[in-house]
Amino acid sequence: MVQKRNPPAPLARPTTARAKPARPEPAKPQPASGGVPPKRRGRPRAYEPDVALARALDVFWKDGFAATSLDDLSAATGMNRPSLYSAFGDKRELYKKSYESYRNRARARMGEVFAADMPLRPMLLRIYGIALDMYLSGDDGPRGCFTVMTATSEAVFDPDIRAMVVSGLVEMDRFFARLFKIAQERGELPASADPQVLANLASATIHSIAVRARAQVPRVELEAIVNGAVDVMLRDKL
């Protein structure tokens, strides 16, 4: 018997794996006009430096350096201690910046009066009036002058503050001396008048009313002192 042979199985064709379609890459952001990529916005400040400094000034002006704590400054400015240090430095540096801010404020007010170009007597009275406005200000009562009432105490221990105090005193003397010199040139003072001596007297009057204002002497009494001092300064008027 002849056995039937099964035909050989056909060879399997090699299969080729189908490539998966490539995923499209995300589009890259195009640079802004001019080829410059847009800048990222920085983190906004949570405080206004000028406002914070003004509030710190109010605290130092009222309580002085030693009696003011970092907690007091933090509460007044709304800034925590690390933020205060980052923005202004340590407590003493913040005090110095506050003092400089006070001096700039006073300098600006006096400059406005000087620019008004008025006769000597009304100009002096106007200057003392501005000084009294500052010295008698304060939510908790009159604060006097920052230089006289607090900075002079710190000047004993800190050479930088001492230099600022001396500079402020000299600047005030020169300011008054210039006023008296101009008045003398206009004929409002005799040739025999000494502008520097009169300037020292005018500055001493400023210091006196500053101390008395802090002691809560009424304004009417302070104005009487001012009027008497101006009379003495102008007693040799032609």
In this structure, what CATH number is given to the domain that contains residue 215?
A: 1.10.357.10
Say if 94 falls within a structural domain: no
pLDDT in tens, 91-117: 999 999 999 999 999 889 888 888 888
User: According to the model, what pLDDT value does residue 115 have?
Assistant: 85
User: According to the model, what pLDDT value does residue 49 have?
Assistant: 84
- In terms of C-beta density within 10 A (0-12 exposed, 13-18 middle, 19 or more buried), how is residue 23 classed? exposed
Say if 123 falls within a structural domain: yes
**What is the domain range of residue 184?**
99-233
User: According to the model, what pLDDT value does residue 230 have?
Assistant: 97
Residues in the chain where the model's pLDDT stays below 70: 1-47, 236-238
Say if 126 falls within a structural domain: yes
Say if 174 falls within a structural domain: yes
User: According to the model, what pLDDT value does residue 117 have?
Assistant: 82
How many folded domains does the chain comprise?
1
Say if 119 falls within a structural domain: yes
User: According to the model, what pLDDT value does residue 181 have?
Assistant: 96
Say if 25 falls within a structural domain: no
Say if 136 falls within a structural domain: yes
